[in-house]
């Protein structure tokens, strides 16, 4: 009787580990991509991915299998990210004016007049976009990333962020306008070149 | 719909998140309003940019490190089991308390129903009868106390 109980538990734990190995293989790349966009650097992104998978493993009994695993993982990740920012008591609100002035950050934008290719412009705008994302509140950043970078529908974003579709709609709209303002202020030529390319 | 209402809905419009009348109204408005059309084009360009930024590739060996980390949790008691244990503990405690209450109640009942020196009446019976008698005559003892707690 005792043996069968232990056997049953061992099988369950073994099954769960095996299942998780598969889930990690399938989802760690997009998970890392989102984590990187949320945190803005490789070390914090890896920590966030690790933390998210550990939470997912520990609370796997709460996973509703009717949802894609990545949606659930993103929910865990965005919560973990917001928690971590609140715990540290600081928002990653980088002063846009200070960027480069304090010597810690500089944005060397390449001269793109010679090669106005759209993908090159997108690549050139990558850092300013990331900088703009980090200047936003985590709620706005998460909504914009899930909708624009991950390509999720508003309803899915609302489900992940545990909020209403109306709130998501507002966060995405205001978030995008903040990014645009940032780009027009800090990378105006490159951004206008990109717009002209379309 | 005025320009402000239209512009507040432009992101949702571009994301195909609007339907029915709202969608038609915005479409009709931007076909005639130059400012709103320019705003829609600008937001469309931004959406295109955000959709085009590449997601960085994970560092070498991340998948292995994640799997190794999972393996460390192999011997960790699953949270569900802990929750079940807590539930079982709560159930057992509740059952014990209920059983104790029943036993105590049964004991008191037996004690009260036991024949006493007052001609076989129980203690409770005496009290009830006494109160009933008091109510019909003059209020004393507990009846007075109850009356005193009432609103003045």
Tell if the CB–CB gap between A180 and B42 is shorter than 8 Å: yes
CB contact at 8 A, A27 and A56: no
Decide which of A67, A90, A113 is a domain's last residue. Answer: A90
pLDDT of residue A33: 93
Same domain for A137 and A194, yes or no, is: yes
pLDDT of residue B97: 84
Residue of B nearest to A30 (CA): B55
Domain count, chain B: 2
Same domain for A100 and A189, yes or no, is: yes
**pLDDT tens figures, B4-53:** 999 999 999 999 999 889 999 999 999 999 999 999 999 999 999 998 88
Rounded Cα distance between B98 and A54, Å, is 40
Question: Any idea what the Cα angle at residue B33 is, between residues B30 and B35, rounded to 5°?
Answer: 100
Same domain for A188 and A111, yes or no, is: yes
Tell if the CB–CB gap between A36 and B55 is shorter than 8 Å: yes
Tell if the CB–CB gap between B58 and A169 is shorter than 8 Å: no
Give the percent of chain B with pLDDT over 70. 61
Whether B78 maps to a domain, the answer reads no
pLDDT of residue B152: 38
Residue B77 binned pLDDT confidence (cut-offs 50, 70, 90): low
Same domain for A173 and A119, yes or no, is: yes
Residue B79 binned pLDDT confidence (cut-offs 50, 70, 90): low
**CATH number of the domain within which A154 lies:** 1.10.10.10
Decide which of A90, A118, A153 is a domain's last residue. Answer: A90
Query: Nearest CA to CA, how far is A90 from chain B (Å)?
Result: 25
Residue B95 binned pLDDT confidence (cut-offs 50, 70, 90): confident
CB contact at 8 A, A74 and A34: yes
Q: What is the mean pLDDT for each group of 10 consecutive residues in chain A (198 residues)?
A: 40 75 91 93 93 90 85 92 78 42 38 57 88 93 92 92 95 96 93 87
Tell if the CB–CB gap between A154 and B12 is shorter than 8 Å: yes
Q: How much is the ipTM here?
A: 0.74
Closest of A181, A123, A177, A184 to residue B43, by C-alpha: A177
Place of tokens 């889930």: A23
Tell if the CB–CB gap between B62 and A180 is shorter than 8 Å: no
Residue A180's domain comprises 94-198
B88 Cβ under 8 Å from any chain A Cβ: no
Rounded Cα distance between A37 and A34, Å, is 5
> What string of H, E and C letters represents the secondary structure of chain B?
CCHHHHHHCHHHHHCCCCCHHHHHHHHHHHHHCHHHHHHHHHHHHHHHHHHHCCCCCCCCCHHHHHHHHHHHCCCCCCHHHHHHHHHHHHHHHHHHHHHHHHHHHHHHHHHHHCCCCCCCCCHHHHHHHHHHHHHHCCCCCHHHHHHHHCCC
Rounded Cα distance between A137 and A13, Å, is 38
Query: Nearest CA to CA, how far is B94 from chain A (Å)?
Result: 26
pLDDT of residue A138: 92
pLDDT of residue A92: 46
Same domain for A117 and A23, yes or no, is: no
Tell if the CB–CB gap between A176 and B45 is shorter than 8 Å: no
Q: How many CB atoms lie within 10 A of CB A31?
A: 26
Same domain for A100 and A197, yes or no, is: yes
Rounded Cα distance between B30 and B40, Å, is 8
pLDDT of residue A103: 38
Same domain for A100 and A83, yes or no, is: no
Same domain for A72 and A108, yes or no, is: no
Place of tokens 């008691």: B77
Positive or negative: CA dihedral A141, A39, A95, B48: negative
Whether B70 maps to a domain, the answer reads no
Same domain for A59 and A106, yes or no, is: no
Residue B55 binned pLDDT confidence (cut-offs 50, 70, 90): confident
In whole angstroms, how large is the CA radius of gyration of chain B? 40
Residues of B in contact with A32 (CB under 8 A): 55-58, 62
Between the ranges A117-131, A165-179, B70-84, B106-120, where is the mean pLDDT highest? A165-179
Tell if the CB–CB gap between B66 and A180 is shorter than 8 Å: no
Decide which of A62, A90, A118 is a domain's last residue. Answer: A90
CB contact at 8 A, A96 and B17: no
Q: Is pLDDT of B58 > 60?
A: yes
Same domain for A74 and A162, yes or no, is: no
CB contact at 8 A, A150 and A30: yes
Rounded Cα distance between A30 and A70, Å, is 8
- Record the tokens describing residue A70, joined without a space: 């990545």
Whether B19 maps to a domain, the answer reads yes
Query: Nearest CA to CA, how far is B22 from chain A (Å)?
Result: 14
Least confident of A114-128, A154-168, B77-91, B126-140: B126-140
Rounded Cα distance between A38 and B72, Å, is 27
Quick one: average pLDDT of B62-78?
81
More confident position, B151 or B103? B103
Domain count, chain A: 2
Same domain for A67 and A103, yes or no, is: no
CB contact at 8 A, A134 and A169: no
Same domain for A102 and A83, yes or no, is: no
Q: Which of A147, A173, A176 sits opposite B8 (nearest CB)?
A: A173
Residue B139's domain comprises 91-147
Quick one: average pLDDT of B108-126?
52
CB contact at 8 A, A17 and B71: yes
Residue B100 binned pLDDT confidence (cut-offs 50, 70, 90): confident
More confident position, A99 or B3? B3
């Amino acid at each position: 009787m005792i043996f069968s109980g232990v056997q049953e538990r061992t099988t369950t734990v073994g099954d769960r580990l095996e299942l998780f190995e598969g889930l990690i293989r399938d989802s760690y790349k997009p998970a890392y991509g989102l984590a990187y966009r949320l945190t803005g650097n490789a070390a914090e992104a890896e920590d966030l991915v690790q933390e998210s998978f550990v939470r997912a493993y520990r609370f796997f009994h709460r996973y509703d299998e009717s949802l894609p695993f990545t949606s659930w993982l993103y929910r865990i990740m965005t919560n973990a990210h917001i928690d971590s920012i609140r715990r540290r008591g600081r928002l990653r609100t980088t002063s846009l004016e200070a960027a480069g002035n304090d010597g810690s950050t500089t944005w060397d934008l390449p001269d793109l007049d010679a090669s106005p290719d759209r993908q090159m412009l997108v690549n050139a705008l990558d850092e300013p976009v990331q900088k703009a994302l980090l200047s936003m509140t985590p709620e706005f950043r998460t909504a914009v990333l899930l909708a624009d970078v991950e390509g999720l529908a508003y309803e899915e974003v609302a489900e992940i962020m545990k909020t209403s579709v109306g709130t998501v709609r507002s966060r995405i709209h205001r978030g995008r306008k903040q990014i645009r303002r940032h780009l027009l202020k800090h990378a105006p030529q490159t951004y206008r070149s990109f717009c002209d390319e379309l | 719909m005025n320009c402000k209402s239209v512009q507040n809905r432009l992101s949702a419009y571009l994301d195909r998140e609007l339907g029915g009348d709202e969608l038609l109204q915005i479409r009709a408005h931007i076909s005639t309003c130059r400012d709103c059309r320019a705003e829609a084009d600008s937001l469309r360009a931004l959406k295109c940019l955000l959709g085009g930024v590449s997601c960085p590739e994970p560092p070498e060996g991340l998948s292995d490190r994640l799997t190794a980390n999972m393996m460390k949790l192999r011997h960790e008691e699953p949270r569900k089991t802990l929750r079940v244990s807590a539930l079982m503990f709560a159930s057992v405690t509740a059952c014990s308390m209920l059983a104790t209450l029943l036993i105590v109640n049964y004991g008191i009942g037996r004690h009260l129903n036991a024949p006493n020196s007052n001609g076989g009446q129980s203690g409770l019976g005496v009290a009830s009868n006494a109160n009933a008698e008091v109510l019909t005559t003059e209020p004393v003892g507990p009846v007075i106390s109850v009356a005193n707690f009432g609103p003045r």
